[in-house]
Amino acid sequence: MKRIAIACYFTLLLAPFTQPELTVAGDQPSDFIRPPFQVSRPPTNNKTQPDRAIHADLSTFADEAWILPVRSSLLSPGQITSRALNMPGFRPFFLVGEDSQSLVWLRQRAAELQKMGAAGLAVEVANTEALARIRAAAPGITILPVNGNDIATRLQIEHYPVLITATSLEQ
């Protein structure tokens, strides 16, 4: 019986030393820049890539009424000054609202936007009916309701509608 008690005592005494050391996320400065895992991608073969952009209509996967209304206090309808951008590999997108200027702009440029594979962000939308009107102006193009304040700050823009590509910011 004494042997069992001594064995249990030593087991309890040594147990904390057998556990791996606890690591806290963000304990080291390099933890924030180290990728959590490596992604293995097959080599790209340009012959197998589609000739046109493929659109995913994300709006059909969830009821968006919970996010509406969307208001972007840093953006309003108006004219913008076109300028060059240098963002290689950047996928084109555009910002619009439910105003008449945005709807006319969308109707006029819908084919071009679809051809380039641009996705849309509706930055001023009151309700689901307004979102439906925006989407009807450019059928076949994904347009999601999103607050545009962060984009406005980062790209230093104040107005929409606007098209942002890898090489330019234009209306």
pLDDT-above-70 percentage for the chain: 64
Within-domain flag for 139: yes
What is the pTM for the complete model shown?
Answer: 0.64
pLDDT average, residue stretch 154-161: 95
pLDDT-above-90 percentage for the chain: 58
Residue 134 has pLDDT above 70, yes or no: yes
Residue with tokens 């293995």: 40
> pLDDT band for position 48 (50/70/90)?
very low
Assess contact for 167 and 98: CB atoms under 8 A: no
Q: Report the CATH number that the domain containing residue 64 is assigned in CATH.
A: 3.40.30
Within-domain flag for 36: no
Bridge partners (DSSP) listed for residue 124: 97
Q: Which pLDDT does position 26 carry in this prediction?
A: 53
Q: Which pLDDT does position 53 carry in this prediction?
A: 52
* CB within 8 Å of 157: residues ≥ 6 apart: 75, 80, 95, 151, 169
Residue 71 has pLDDT above 60, yes or no: yes
Give dist(CA 73, CA 147) in Å, integer.
9
Give dist(CA 4, CA 64) in Å, integer.
64
Q: Which pLDDT does position 153 carry in this prediction?
A: 95
Residue 122 has pLDDT above 80, yes or no: yes
Within-domain flag for 26: no
Q: What is the mean pLDDT of the chain?
A: 80
Within-domain flag for 69: yes
Full domain range(s) for residue 118:
58-170
Within-domain flag for 148: yes
DSSP class of 84: E
DSSP class of 120: E
Q: Which pLDDT does position 28 carry in this prediction?
A: 53
Least confident of 2-16, 90-104, 122-136, 148-162: 2-16
Least confident of 25-39, 68-82, 93-107, 138-152: 25-39
Residue 22 has pLDDT above 90, yes or no: no
Q: Is 78 left (phi over 0), alpha (psi -120 to 50) or beta?
A: left
Within-domain flag for 46: no
Within-domain flag for 5: no
Within-domain flag for 33: no
What do you get for the CA distance between the two ends of the chain, in Å? 87
Q: Say how many domains are in the chain.
A: 1
Cα distances (angstroms) measured from residue 118 to each of 40, 71, 141: 27, 22, 8
Residue 59 has pLDDT above 80, yes or no: no
